[in-house]
A and B are shown apart, each in its own frame.
Chain A
């Protein structure tokens, strides 16, 4: 069934169609939120909040814009609100890494790098972090990011540039020598 049709059904109040509509986005939204808060439970709760909010406000959605940028926009706004509410007291969860078949050294290095990435991301200003995640993880174009974040293309490019610069500085020992 086409997305447009699903949206219309949900707008008419068919709750069952909502799960089908959101299915392609659930993992993406969860990943984005996880990258914002680095805590699985918080990301899960935020994802639920995004879905509830999307359901409640879907009647205001106009077909002229794309649905996924609309959903991403809800997710980004909620994540930024969450950060504002929590301030700097966001608990970054230590991950239990999946078993690796690359040997103890590479597994250890990978774990160390994961930790370093999480810590470095946590120090980025929230808007830079969102831009970086939308581009590097979600693969959105500059134009799409601008729509989601409600800013100009130039702002997206500058946020991305500063975020990358900071991340490259923090991860320099891990990034150099890769080929």
Chain B
């Protein structure tokens, strides 16, 4: 037989029928004999009863047809904003917003990481800085201030060979 402090902690679960069957039976048995736990349980069930009665009484005499009057009116003549939102949703359908978002994110990742890899490397722009006519030297300068010095035999240049 469980003690009072343990049963007190289980009473809400008991009222909500959220305990395993054996514990439900043990609490039920204890409550029958224990005045304190019985009082606690009575308060919990009374709270439920009164709360339910208050809400149901207050909500009882509203004709449900009134709900539908307003709904039908709004469904038949949606506002411009509602039309825009609805049209947007129709375009997105049958995808869920999260799926659409995930799709867009995947496309962004693809664009940022894959596309630069596939793209061919840019052709370096090479500018002939100077040609030394006195000496067999040509000086090239590419982008990023890389200097290229190309030496060749005196006879080769004249023949058009590199």
Contact B57 A95 (CB under 8 A): yes
Q: Does A47 contact B (CB under 8 A)?
A: yes
Q: Which residue of B lies closest to A179 (CB)?
A: B42
Which residues of chain B (35-85) have a CB below 8 Å from chain A?
Answer: 39, 42-44, 46-48, 50-62, 64, 66-68, 70-71, 74-75, 82, 85
Q: Which residue of B lies closest to A93 (CB)?
A: B58
Which residues of chain A (95-150) have a CB below 8 Å from chain B?
Answer: 95, 97-98, 113-114, 117-118, 121, 132-133, 135-137, 141-142
Contact A59 B94 (CB under 8 A): yes
* CA of A55 to CA of B46, assembled, Å: 38
Contact B64 A59 (CB under 8 A): no
* CA of A133 to CA of B54, assembled, Å: 11
Chain B nearest CB, measured from A39 CB (Å): 9
Contact A136 B64 (CB under 8 A): no
Contact A142 B16 (CB under 8 A): yes
Contact B46 A59 (CB under 8 A): no
Chain A nearest CB, measured from B91 CB (Å): 12
Q: Does A56 contact B (CB under 8 A)?
A: yes
Contact B57 A27 (CB under 8 A): no
Q: Does A175 contact B (CB under 8 A)?
A: yes
Q: Does A79 contact B (CB under 8 A)?
A: no
Q: Which residue of A lies closest to B61 (CB)?
A: A98
Q: Does B32 contact A (CB under 8 A)?
A: no
Chain A nearest CB, measured from B21 CB (Å): 16
Pick the residue among B12, B43, B46, B96 that contacts A60 (CB under 8 A): B96
Q: Top 6 closest A-B pairs, CB basis?
A: A48-B70, A178-B46, A34-B59, A31-B59, A175-B43, A35-B55
